[in-house]
Chain A
Amino acid sequence: MEKHYLRIDSLSKYILKDLSISFDSKSFVTILGPSGSGKSTILNVLAGILQPDSGKILLNKKDITNKPPNKRNIGMVFQDYGLFPHMTALQNVEFPLKIRKEVSAIPAMRMLDKLDLTAHYSKYPHELSGGQKQRVAIARALVYKPDILLLDEPFGSLDVILRNQLQEEIKNIHNETQSLMINVTHDIAEAFILSDTIVIIKDGKVKQIGTPKEIYNNPNDDWVESFIHDGLSHIKKMRKIV
């Protein structure tokens, strides 16, 4: 584990003002916060889709702030999949390898196999279910072994059963690849189940960083406490009934 593998230094963009966080390698981080708190903006700045107004991003001690997205070697999974509609599942997964002029078919097929998509490799996105689409998107983001995987509410548009399945799979993939994954969500249960580290943000500011246990047992302030407990209340209610 490398400390401060990815560092965000006094970053400003939209709602984010002078934000600094650092992430360790090999960890699974979830950025948790209510809608409009700036969590997706963080991911988009990390991916290079948005240019920050000020501040720096350091990946493995190298400044990548001004690098375009294609030079960053970062993978990203979007809530609405972002699959190329004119390409089959296999072509979608091959795309990043082809762009890099690498051998594509075998690793892409292997990645599809890993995500249980072998039977669907020749289908177009519109022929796939929501869960299958998201698996293809994950396969496409992982196939070129990115340094970081960014997950922008990847389970948001899936039903509960699929969500649980895919969360499990992501967790397994993370255990296997041991690369830094940063997940953005407003689903508090998801954050607790998946993450080594949770970053809670509100109005563009970090409220608390810690392991799920630390945050659950020692919330920094009343807002964090009620935010978490409101978010988990349905689980508690369920426990009472059962």
Chain B
Amino acid sequence: MRILPLIIAMLFGFVFPIGYMMSYSVTTTKLQQSLPATIENPSYESLAYDLSQDYSRSASLYINSYLPGTRSMVIKARNDIGNATQPYKDWFISKDERWEDPKLWNLIKEHGDGFTLDNLKKAMSGVYLQVLFNTLSLGALITIVTLLIAYPTSMYLTSIKNKWLFGLSIFCVLLPFFTSYLSRLVAWIVILPEFNLIHNTAGIFIGSVYILLPLCILPLYTVMKNIDYSTVNAAKICGANKLQTFVYSYLPQTKLGVINSVLITFITVIGFYTTPALLGGGSGKFVTEQIVYHIEISLNWGLASALTATLTAITFILFLIYTRVNYVK
């Protein structure tokens, strides 16, 4: 019963908004709202009726998002609908031949039931699948490199005995962590062009690794500092050389830290938007960039939300693993 407030907060703050947004990916209510009569009874008469009504104002947007380039066609017809003459079919075709396109009428038919998997299918195929693959592979590479830098750094941090030196080192790790994300990125925007490393994958790579390092170091450090050092000494005394001591005694004991660091880093990097947008020069390599494009520019919210859904699903699976590793023993 004591977790009730937590559940309520989760419902209102997370499940409801995200769920509402995600519902865009599987429903076509907007088309239903703007062309209800046409969807009910697909004909030029119904279309003429719908376009003469106020509620059809956004029809152009939604048709355009499925059939790119049709926006002006719909707007023109709608603006001139007062002068429409029967038979409407001829009138529409005289305005623009594309009104006859079977794709348009299929779209209207398919969206009639208000439920569609088109967005999700589209988000998981073709160019978007490629973008998803790019995001995941670049994210994995960034995570591995970050881990390879973070691991020895954390080991070094745990080995510092002098408290002033330790304070200074922790300060060096945490200061960037607490400095505004944007100001750090802007600094890179100034420096990277000097080396011709901006507006390409290398730029995204360097910026991301740098941003993620503290995030990767902290879970590792927490685990490493709790390792009983006598287990390391014991391995040496048992006959293990330095490499064997590391491989058989030290490394397995940091397993949890490594898993946590990798998951946190990877989850964060696949959700990165600012870094690829600013350092990658809007190359559109990341799913997040596509999402923003479809929300702000193409106004295809259905696709944007489908793309978000794929990303969220991946994050959710990773988060389940994280929870399982850490809290369910």
**Chain A interface (Cβ < 8 Å from any Cβ of B):** 47-49, 68-70, 72-76, 78, 80-86, 95-96, 99-100, 137, 140-141, 144
Contact = CB atoms under 8 A, between A and B. Distances in A.
A73 B252 CA distance: 24
Main secondary structure of the interface of B (DSSP, over half): helix
Given A49-B233, A78-B234, A82-B228, A68 B252 contact: no
B233 A68 contact: no
Residue with the highest number of chain B CB atoms closer than 10 Å, among A82, A85, A95, A96: A82
Residue with the highest number of chain A CB atoms closer than 10 Å, among B244, B248, B255: B248
A48 B234 CA distance: 11
Interface of B: 228, 230-231, 233-241, 244-245, 248-249, 252-253, 255
Given A80-B228, A82-B228, A85-B231, A95 B238 contact: yes
A78 B236 CA distance: 13
B237 A48 contact: yes
B234 A99 contact: no
A85 B237 contact: no
Given A80-B230, A95-B248, A99-B244, A86 B237 contact: no
B253 A144 contact: no
Contact of A69 (B231, B236, B255): B236
A82 B231 contact: yes
Contacts of A140: 234, 238
A47 B233 contact: yes
A70 B255 contact: no
Contacts of B238: 70, 95-96, 99, 140, 144
Contacts of B235: 84, 95
A197 to B, nearest CB: 23
Contact of A96 (B233, B239, B252, B253): B239
A44 to B, nearest CB: 8
Contact of B237 (A74, A81, A84, A100): A74
Contact of A49 (B231, B236, B249, B253): B236
